[in-house]
Amino acid sequence: MSRSASLLCVLVVALALGPLQALPARAAGGGMSAAFARTWARTDRPVAEGQANRTWMWGPGPFSNVLFEQYDEGSMRGFRVVQYFDKTRMEITDTEADPVNPWYVTNGLLAKELITGQLQLGHNSFWQGPPALVNVAGDPNDPNGPTYATFNTLMGHQPLPLGWTIIQTVDRAGNVGANQSLASFGVTAATFVPETNHTVASVFWEFMQSEGLIYQDGGFRNGRLFENPFYATGYPLTEAYWTTVLVGGVPKLVLVQVFERRVLTYTPDNPPGWQVEAGNVGQHYYAWRYGLLGDEPLTWTALGGPYAEIRPEELPYIDVLFLSIWQLQVGLQPLTFLLDHPDRDNPQWRADVETRLIFMQDAVRALREVSPPPRLGSAHSEVLAALNYFDRASSELRQYLATGDGTLERAAYFDVLQGLAALDELGLLAARGTKPALGRTQALRSVS
């Protein structure tokens, strides 16, 4: 029996075993595919491994499984791949695009949707709902803290003049006041953003431009947390306001500013490294979309066929397996071209090869680190056998770059080809181009 037939038999037989269990509305946590893990690792791997003392920008890991959300330009026939973290949502709109491109994974405009009530269903497609009555900071059950709906009315307020000290306050009802004692914190309007006609508070602007320990190109190093200061946050939608919220049931004075992608908070009495924090916008948005609006989270089971028999406890493994293999196949095609046209003395060629090599190692790491559920253990063994080709190619390619030995370059080239062929034979990519079963978002669209 061929490897392809063997693996397909393992999957089909395994997925046919046992009744399908009902999916929880909010999964305990999903697995991170290669592309999502690479995006997460830059700022949050140092925090997770205790190497940096600062706020999470994504969170310790995803709290949802991979979901399929309707989006007009999505490559899966009008759907895109997303996954939720405490602080935000990661998105892949085009699964056929180059996963090495830094914009392959995007960062949702969740705070903008929450503050406006506009659920985005495409580049130019929206469903208009009410602004979210969800607290922007602090305890979710705080009855007095401001909500996203509170800040909706503040979007049109004029920007503070640059250099002015920020003493303005806001309460849950949207009443704006001023408290001169807040000048003692020395927070000022630091920079003006013409795109949205708002300024950024100095404590947030310093954080957005800050440097620290990051994870990049396979190792820890010092660098800018964000290559573009607005990459993680988007542009400011409001000015910054002081308010009081409950944190663990204790009242806290915080400065809050809503951006397109994130909400940033500044708590003066927090310890260093944690005074500026990213709010839990991912949690807030998930509760709004899949709770208050009643949309239905669609996991791999929505693809139908054998996917419909995937059990909930198997979803974290499937999250990593399918997406990482897609990304490997797309991301390594350019590497085969580079190796087929070697030009070791060309700096650009070397840089391109290094980029693809690091991506290959990251993807293989993601697949090797995930633990398969019991009934898919045999299938995982075949995946690991395919990854051996990439491990060998990585070693050969690094030796070639160091020594210039052409036989190593040829060996790496053929091992990459064999690895790609082995992955193709596994028959795991049937979901490509599949349209998930429609959830309640379709009902929302029909009345938009």
* pLDDT tens per residue, range 48-79: 999 999 999 999 999 999 999 999 999 988 99
Determine the average pLDDT of the residues in 271-299.
Answer: 94
Write out pLDDT tens, residues 411-423.
999 999 999 999 8
Determine the average pLDDT of the residues in 225-231.
Answer: 91
pLDDT for the residue 434: 62
Q: Which residues pair with 267 in a beta bridge?
A: none
Distance CA 95, CA 64 (A): 19
The residues spanned by each domain of the chain are: 3-27+312-425, 153-276
Determine the average pLDDT of the residues in 352-359.
Answer: 95
Residue 166 has pLDDT above 80, yes or no: yes
pLDDT for the residue 47: 95
Residue 9 has pLDDT above 70, yes or no: no
Q: Give the model's confidence band at 437: pLDDT under 50 very low, under 70 low, under 90 confident, else very high.
A: low
> Per the confidence metrics, is the pTM higher than 0.85?
yes
147-153's contacts with Cβ under 8 Å and 24+ in sequence apart are 147/172, 148/111, 148/114, 148/115, 148/258, 148/284, 149/115, 150/174, 151/115, 151/237, 151/238, 151/258, 152/115, 152/116, 152/117
Which among 256, 282, 389 has a CA at the least distance from the CA of 335?
389
